Structure 1
Amino acid sequence: MPATLHEHALFTAGPVLGGVHRLDAGVASHAHDFLEIAVIGAGHGRHVTSQGEQPLRRGQVVVLRPGAWHGFRDCAGLVVANCCLSAQALRAELAPLYDLAMPRRMLWTDPVASGTHGVAVTAVDPAAAEEAVAEIGLLERDLAADRSRPGRVLGRLVTVLGILADGRTPAGQEHGPAIHPAVAATVARLEAAPARAWRLDDLARAVSLDPAYLGRLFRRHVGLTPLDFLARLRAERAATLLAHSALPAARVGAAVGWDDPTYFARRFRALVGLTPTEYRRRSRAAVHEQPGPEAG
């Protein structure tokens, strides 16, 4: 059974991890409580998610939100370059990335869209993919250096995101408008207290906007309504609690703002692709065979 890769065990030297790996065998399905970007290079393999199995090809970019799960099968010389970001850091020191349209779409909007279960698969030009793989290799080298290089690591991360954005955006095309301040403020409120019984009226009042107008702004910039975005946040926090705590599933639901156990189970399955019980079982199975970060 698949396991869960845990942020507290992997992010010991900072908020970013990276590495380039060649897979010649399958990797068991596993979940993450952090965000992962996987850039596919040369080789062959199949990608396993809640949506089924799909063949992988050079230039694909897989982004997984915390709580999402995936795996690899039938790999032969498959190059996978992983760049992983701490979920906690995405709410703190890496939060400014959300203010930029390009990383906002890549790291937040696309993988939280309805029906994705937290996994977004896009494609870039193969040359851009190779460049991103090389940059992630340099990131891996910097992370392994004897002395800390936080500035250089952050620079590598921004470069990787820029390469991937340029690789899928025609030259000269706008990356999108800067996020509206009211949307940014609303996201911050939801991130800070996802268990609160938020209503659209409350959120709109806090930014002095009409609720319908805030809803339209939020959908334009985030791709979801404020309450749908809140549901995704709750599912991600619930996934972490299911993997890390012994709380009964019903109490996990209540802790993230879903007091009704039946409703919690239904919403969690719709957003993650597994019931809370299934997710917890997968996260705790095969602990001694848990894949390392190189597995994707």
Structure 2
Amino acid sequence: MPATLHEHTLFDGGPVWGAVHHLGPDIAPHAHDFLEIAVIGTGYGRHTTSQGERPLRHGEVIVLRPGAWHGFRDCTGLTVANCCLSTQAPRAELAALYDIPMLRRMLWTDPVASGTHGVAVTTVDPAAAEEAIAEIGLLERDLGADPGRPGRVLGRLVTVLGILADGRSPAQATHESAIHPAVATTVARLEAAPADPWRLDDLARTVNLDPAYLGRLFGRYVGVTPLGFLARVRAERAATLLAHSALPVAQVGAAVGWDDPTYFARRFRTLVGLTPTEYRRRSRSGAHIQPGAPATPAGNENHAVRTDDLIRR
């Protein structure tokens, strides 16, 4: 598992990374600054997040937004297959997936919803999980091909997502409609400039809607209010800055739109489950890189990464 890798290292060759791992015994809790999809196969283990610790089940699918953290304990022969996406990918190469209701719910809505700390867990049929794990194994092979196969890699990713979406139970597979244009426009605006001093009235005015109605639309399609979504985006950008930059914590908060250091620390902990200082420590921890994952050179956490580029991601 890419426990201590960061986005600028993991996605140097493209927007997608994937691998199949056999874990044991422990993977210490760690933070990510990218989006991760973990498919649980056979074996035993316990999963640790900001919500606590619980046993894993064959067929579970764990989605972690940037800024989320997790770990594994007491693993015995546990198979975990990972697909990881750069923070840019959902807004660039994979932006079209946002318009597919079942994938929007999996990658965007569920892990962004209030109280999740960026982590969502769903369950698919074990046979679907094994099919997805096999496909991630092929993704890993294609990523290692020389030369690389970017078209095939993206195709494998979409296949994996389709298998997981189709493998959910009827109760989980809700029939949502396409995203409302006003919501899509507002989401894009907030992601493009999260540090701006947005107000609900201003956002509603730009899409010619009543503020209360825009709030209800966000609740339906995104799972949180517009300002709740903005807070999640700010927390994710702050997580990237904490992992990669040398900015003091207070300046990190100001860079993403939270000028009051105390308020920033409180909001970040509410959304991520760690204080900014603890998140920075965990994101830079140097242990627990699994075999097969490319190593991050020691002392290289911040190379060639500009602060303004990180904020825009």
What SS is found at the alignment partner of 1:178? coil
CA distance in 2, matches of 1:224, 1:236: 15
**Change in 2 beyond 3 A, CA 1:174/1:117:** closer
Superposed counterparts of 1:124-203, under 5 Å: 124-170=124-170, 175-203=175-203
Using the TM superposition, give the Cα deviation of residue 245 of structure 1 relative to its aligned residue in structure 2, in angstroms: 1.0
What SS is found at the alignment partner of 2:93? coil
CA distance in 2, matches of 1:109, 1:60: 17
Q: What residue number does 1:70 align with?
A: 70
Using the TM superposition, give the Cα deviation of residue 41 of structure 1 relative to its aligned residue in structure 2, in angstroms: 0.4
Using the TM superposition, give the Cα deviation of residue 217 of structure 1 relative to its aligned residue in structure 2, in angstroms: 1.0
CA distance in 1, matches of 2:284, 2:131: 36
* Structure 2: runs of 5+ lacking an equivalent: 294-313
The answer to whether the Cα contact below 8 Å between 1:200 and 1:226 also exists between their aligned partners in 2 is yes
Q: What residue number does 2:289 align with?
A: 291
CA distance in 1, matches of 2:238, 2:8: 16
The answer to whether the Cα contact below 8 Å between 2:32 and 2:283 also exists between their aligned partners in 1 is no
CA distance in 1, matches of 2:126, 2:288: 31
| AA of the residue aligned to 1:151 | G
What SS is found at the alignment partner of 1:263? helix
Identical pairs, percent: 81
CA distance in 2, matches of 1:281, 1:34: 17
Using the TM superposition, give the Cα deviation of residue 207 of structure 1 relative to its aligned residue in structure 2, in angstroms: 1.1
| AA of the residue aligned to 2:262 | T
What SS is found at the alignment partner of 2:202? helix
Using the TM superposition, give the Cα deviation of residue 85 of structure 1 relative to its aligned residue in structure 2, in angstroms: 0.5
| AA of the residue aligned to 1:90 | P
What SS is found at the alignment partner of 1:209? coil
**Change in 2 beyond 3 A, CA 1:274/1:174:** closer
CA distance in 2, matches of 1:212, 1:293: 51
**Change in 2 beyond 3 A, CA 1:293/1:181:** farther
The answer to whether the Cα contact below 8 Å between 2:125 and 2:169 also exists between their aligned partners in 1 is no
Q: What residue number does 1:41 align with?
A: 41
Which range moves more in the overlay, 129-138 or 174-183?
174-183
Deviations 1:58-95 (A, max 9, x none): 00011000011111111111000000001122222222
CA distance in 2, matches of 1:290, 1:125: 30
Q: What residue number does 2:230 align with?
A: 230
Deviations 1:111-168 (A, max 9, x none): 1111111111111111111111111111111111122222211111111111111111
The answer to whether the Cα contact below 8 Å between 1:30 and 1:283 also exists between their aligned partners in 2 is yes
What SS is found at the alignment partner of 2:18? strand
Superposed counterparts of 1:33-112, under 5 Å: 33-112=33-112
Give the TM-score taking structure 2 as reference length.
0.89
Which range moves more in the overlay, 116-125 or 186-195?
116-125
The answer to whether the Cα contact below 8 Å between 2:27 and 2:288 also exists between their aligned partners in 1 is no
Using the TM superposition, give the Cα deviation of residue 294 of structure 1 relative to its aligned residue in structure 2, in angstroms: 6.1
Deviations 1:29-51 (A, max 9, x none): 11110000000000001111111
CA distance in 2, matches of 1:100, 1:190: 20
Structure having the larger proportion of residues in helix: 1
After superposing on structure 2, the runs of 4+ consecutive aligned residues of structure 1 that deviate more than 3 Å are 292-295
Using the TM superposition, give the Cα deviation of residue 190 of structure 1 relative to its aligned residue in structure 2, in angstroms: 0.4
* Structure 1: runs of 5+ lacking an equivalent: none
What SS is found at the alignment partner of 2:167? helix
Q: What residue number does 2:297 align with?
A: none
Which range moves more in the overlay, 105-114 or 187-196?
105-114
Using the TM superposition, give the Cα deviation of residue 176 of structure 1 relative to its aligned residue in structure 2, in angstroms: 1.2
Superposed counterparts of 1:265-276, under 5 Å: 265-276=265-276
| AA of the residue aligned to 1:245 | S
Q: What residue number does 2:279 align with?
A: 279
Q: What residue number does 2:216 align with?
A: 216
Using the TM superposition, give the Cα deviation of residue 186 of structure 1 relative to its aligned residue in structure 2, in angstroms: 0.5
CA distance in 1, matches of 2:271, 2:242: 15
| AA of the residue aligned to 2:33 | D
The answer to whether the Cα contact below 8 Å between 1:4 and 1:243 also exists between their aligned partners in 2 is no
